[in-house]
Amino acid sequence: MRNDAPHLRSTDSRDGAGTHAPVRAAEPWWRGAIIYQIYPRSFLDTNGDGVGDLPGIIERLDYIASLGVDAIWIAPFFRSPMADFGYDISDYRDVDPLFGTLADFDRLIEETHRRGLRLMIDQVLSHTSLDHPWFQESRASRGNPRADWYVWADPRDDGTPPNNWLSIFGGPAWTWEPRRQQYYLHNFLSSQPDLNFHNPEVPRAVLDNVRFWLDRGVDGLRLDAINFCFHDRALRDNPPKPRDQRVGRGFSPDNPYAYQYHWYNNTQPQNLAFLEQLRTLLDQYPNIAALGEIASEDSLATMAEYTRPGRLHMGYSFELLTEDFSSAYIRTTVDTLERKLHEGWPCWAISNHDSMRVASRWGGADPSPRLATLLSAMACSLRGSVCVYQGEELGLPEADVPYEALRDPYGIAFWPNFKGRDGCRTPMPWSDGAQAGFSAVAPWLPVPIAHRQRAVSHQEADPDSPLNTFRRFLRWRRQQPALRWGEIELIDLPEPLLAFVRRCGDEVLFVAFNLGAEAAAVPLPLPKATALCALDGHGLPEGHVDGGILHLPAYGAVFARIG
C-alpha cells in the first residue's frame, strides 16, 4: 500500500519520527506476545480459605494454555501484610503463606514451561511495606545504617509536611514518624513508604532482590509504577493544574491527586540510569523481558523514553484503561505513541486489576458479549504485545460490590463517588455454583450472578461463546506475522469504525473493526486499484468490501490481505 493513499497516516516519516527497526528473522518471544494477567487471590482457591493461591494457578494451566496466549503474568504473591493486597511487600524473597510456598512457585515455573508458556512476575521496586525490615530499621532513628534508605524530610516551620505532594489514594503523600521527628514519603498508601533511590545502596539492594527471582527461572518482570523510583531531591512543590485539565488516568473524579502536575514526585531523569542498571542485570539471563507500567504527565512520551535500547523491553500506560471510548480516541492514542516510539516496543492493555472491566467501561451498564470479544481482538491486532486480564476472554462485566463487602482501601476512602478496584477483582467464575467453582467456602469477594452466568463451564459448551471466539482468534492470530510483528498504518474512517494496515515484509493486511452496535457501510479510502483478499478463520462477525464500500456488521471485523 502506498503511504500517500488518501486519509492514510503512516508511522513512517521522512524525518525519522515514528520509524522502527525492521523485523528480524527470529523475533524474541515477548515481541507480539499475548500475556495473560493473573490476579492470584482471585484465580482459584485450592486450600479452602476463600483466597486463590499458586497451586490454583498450576491446576488451571491447561486452561490457560488452551487460550492460545504466550505467557502469564502473576500479580504479587510475596510476603505482605496485604494493606494493598500484595503491592506492599515485607519480604521480596518469599511467598506469602496465603498463596503457598517457594516450592509451589518452583513447581509453577516447571509446569508453566512444560506447557510451552513463559512466566512473568510483578516486581514492586519503588516502595515497600511498613513491615519490611528495611523500614523498621530506617524509622528507628536518624543515625542507623538504613536511616537514608527511605525518603525522609523535616517539617516546615509550622509542622506541616515539607511540600504539597499528594498520594494517589488521597490526601498528603507524607506521614509523620515521631521516632525521627520527620515525615516519610508515600506516593500510595501511608503503609507503602517510598525507597530513596538517590542512596546508591538502595538500587543495589533492589537489584539483588530481582536477581533472586531471575535465578529461580522467571522469564520476565512486570515493573509496577516503575517511573516512581526517584523523586526530586529539592522537594519542589508540584504546580497546580487548571480545572479543565484535571483528568487523571483511573483517578476518582473527586481525588485531589488530579489537581496537580506531578512533575517532581515521579518520572525524574535519574530513573533512566537505574533502568539501564536493571537492563544490564537482565541481559545476564537469556530471553528475559521487562514490561514497565508507566503513569506520568505524558505517559506516551515516557514510554518512548523508557523503552529505548538498553532500558526496558516494553512499556504500557493507562491510555486505553480510561473511560474515553471512540475509534478516534483509540486511533489518536496509537498514532501519538507511534510517532514518539522510534525504537521501543509497545504493550497494550484494555483491562487490568486496577481498572473497571472494559466490557462495562466501554460498553455501558449492559454490555454485549460480542463487544467484549471484539475489543480483545482489536487490542490484539495493534502493533505491540498485549496484556489480557483474567476474565476478559469470558467478556465479564464489572461487578457491583456492595459497600459492606468492599476490601479495597481506595474504594472505601472514596465511596460512594468511586467504588475502587474490587469490581474488577472478584473471583474467576469457573462454574455457576454458589462459589462459582472458585472455592469451597465464601470467597474474599462475592461473585455476582452475572459472572456465574458467564462461567467457563457454560462457555466451554458453546462454540460461539466469547471464550471460544477468543480462542479461535488467538489461534488464527498466531499464523499472521503482520499482526504479531508488523508495522502499523492508521486509516481515517468515521465513528465508530477503526481501521489500519499491518505490514510485515511482503505480507500486508487491511484490518477494520466496527465498534458500534449497528451495521455500517462506508467508502474505503484506498487507491481504486488496491486488491483485497478477505481472510476468514478469525471467528469474529465478518464484514466485506464490495465496489470500494466497506461493509461491517455490528461488532464485526474485516481482515484482508492486500495485493
14 pLDDT tier (thresholds 50, 70, 90): very low
What residue ranges do the domains of the chain occupy?
A: 30-128+199-477
Which among 69, 60, 54 has a CA at the least distance from the CA of 107?
54
| Category of 499 on φ-ψ map: left (φ > 0), alpha (ψ -120 to 50) or beta | beta
CA distance 338 to 11: 6
Max Cα–Cα distance, the chain, nearest Å: 79
Q: Which helix (H) or strand (E) holds 386?
A: strand 385-389
Tell me what pLDDT residue 44 has. Answer: 98
Cell 466501554 locates to 362
Tell me what pLDDT residue 15 has. Answer: 32
CA distance 540 to 92: 43
Residue 145 C-alpha cell reads as 545504617
Tell me what pLDDT residue 531 has. Answer: 87
pLDDT in tens, 502-547: 999 999 999 999 999 999 999 998 887 688 999 999 999 999 999 8
Would you call 305 a catalytic residue per the annotation? no
Name residue 487's beta-bridge partners: 503
Mean pLDDT of 19-31: 66
Cβ count near 13 (within 10 Å)? 13
Catalytic residue among 53, 293, 392, 398: 293
**Among 245-249, 315-319, 321-325, whose mean pLDDT is lowest?**
245-249
Higher-pLDDT residue of 42 and 247 is 42
Catalytic residue among 122, 224, 392, 393: 224
Which among 351, 428, 347 has a CA at the least distance from the CA of 388?
351
For residue 85, CA distances in Å to 129, 210, 407 come to 11, 20, 9
Cell 536518624 locates to 142
Would you call 224 a catalytic residue per the annotation? yes
250 pLDDT tier (thresholds 50, 70, 90): low
Tell me what pLDDT residue 255 has. Answer: 87
Contact 445, 421 (CB under 8 A): no
CATH class, range 30-128+199-477: alpha beta
Contacts 24+ apart (CB under 8 A), 102-108: 104/53, 104/54, 104/55, 104/58, 105/54, 105/77, 105/216, 106/216, 106/217, 107/58, 108/54, 108/57, 108/58
CA distance 433 to 47: 18
Tell how far CA 27 is from the center of its chain: 22
DSSP 154: P
Q: Enter the pTM of the model.
A: 0.94
Pairing between β-strand 385-389 and β-strand 314-316 as defined by DSSP bridges: unpaired
pLDDT in tens, 94-144: 999 999 999 999 999 999 999 999 999 999 999 999 999 999 999 999 999
Residue 531 phi, psi (nearest 5): -100, 125
Tell me what pLDDT residue 434 has. Answer: 87
Tell me what pLDDT residue 428 has. Answer: 98
DSSP 133: H
Tell me what pLDDT residue 525 has. Answer: 86
For residue 414, CA distances in Å to 254, 367, 417 come to 8, 25, 6
Cell 536493571 locates to 278
Which among 79, 69, 72, 70 has a CA at the least distance from the CA of 43?
72
Pairing between β-strand 520-523 and β-strand 487-491 as defined by DSSP bridges: unpaired
Tell me what pLDDT residue 16 has. Answer: 33
Handedness of CA 444, 449, 454, 455 (dihedral sign): positive
Whether 495 shows a pLDDT value over 90: the answer reads yes
Mean pLDDT of 46-53: 98
Which among 406, 448, 443, 427 has a CA at the least distance from the CA of 50?
443
